[in-house]
Amino acid sequence: LPLWERLKRRIVDGELNGLRADLDEALSQRPALEIVNDVLLDGMKTVGELFGSGQMQLPFVLQSAEVMKTAVAHLEPHMDKTDDGGKGRIVLATVKGDVHDIGKNLVDIILSNNGYEVFNLGIKQPMSSILDAAKEHRADVIGMSGLLVKSTVIMKENLEELNSRGLAGRWPVLLGGAALTRAYVEQDLAGLFGGEVRYARDAFEGLRLMDALMA
Ligand code: B1M
Q: For residue 46, report the distance from its CA to the centre of ligand 1, in Å.
A: 12
Whole-number Å distance between alpha carbons of 214 and 58: 40
Residue with the bigger pLDDT between 84 and 195: it is 195
Whole-number Å distance between alpha carbons of 207 and 114: 8
The length of the chain is: 215
Averaged pLDDT score across all residues of the chain: 96
Which of 100, 108, 112, 140 is an active site residue? 100
- Counting from 1 in the atom list of ligand 1, the atom nearest the Cα of 147 is 7
At 81 the pLDDT is 85
pLDDT at 101 over 90: yes
The dihedral built from the CA positions of residue 170, 174, 175 and 177, taken in this order, carries a sign that is negative
Q: For residue 162, report the distance from its CA to the centre of ligand 1, in Å.
A: 25
Average pLDDT over residues 80-107: 93
Q: How many other CB atoms are there within 10 angstroms of residue 29's CB atom?
A: 10
Residue nearest to atom 25 of ligand 1 (CA): 148
**Cα radius of gyration (the chain):** 18
At 84 the pLDDT is 75
Residue nearest to atom 7 of ligand 1 (CA): 147
pLDDT at 99 over 90: yes
Does residue 54 line the site of ligand 1, with CB under 6 A? no
Q: Is 100 annotated as a binding residue?
A: yes
At 120 the pLDDT is 98
Q: For residue 44, report the distance from its CA to the centre of ligand 1, in Å.
A: 9
Whether 128 is catalytic is: no
pLDDT at 33 over 90: yes
At 188 the pLDDT is 97
E strand or H helix at 44 = helix 41-52
Does residue 23 sit in helix, strand or coil?
Answer: helix
pLDDT at 121 over 80: yes
Which of 22, 64, 112, 151 is an active site residue? 151
What pTM was estimated for this model as a whole?
A: 0.96
> For residue 80, what pLDDT band results from cuts at 50, 70 and 90?
confident
Whether 98 is catalytic is: yes
Percent of the chain past pLDDT 70, that is, above it, reads: 100
pLDDT at 38 over 90: yes
> For residue 83, what pLDDT band results from cuts at 50, 70 and 90?
confident
Q: How many other CB atoms are there within 10 angstroms of residue 139's CB atom?
A: 22
Average pLDDT over residues 126-134: 98
> For residue 9, what pLDDT band results from cuts at 50, 70 and 90?
very high
Distances (CA, A) of 94 to 100, 148, 201: 7, 11, 15
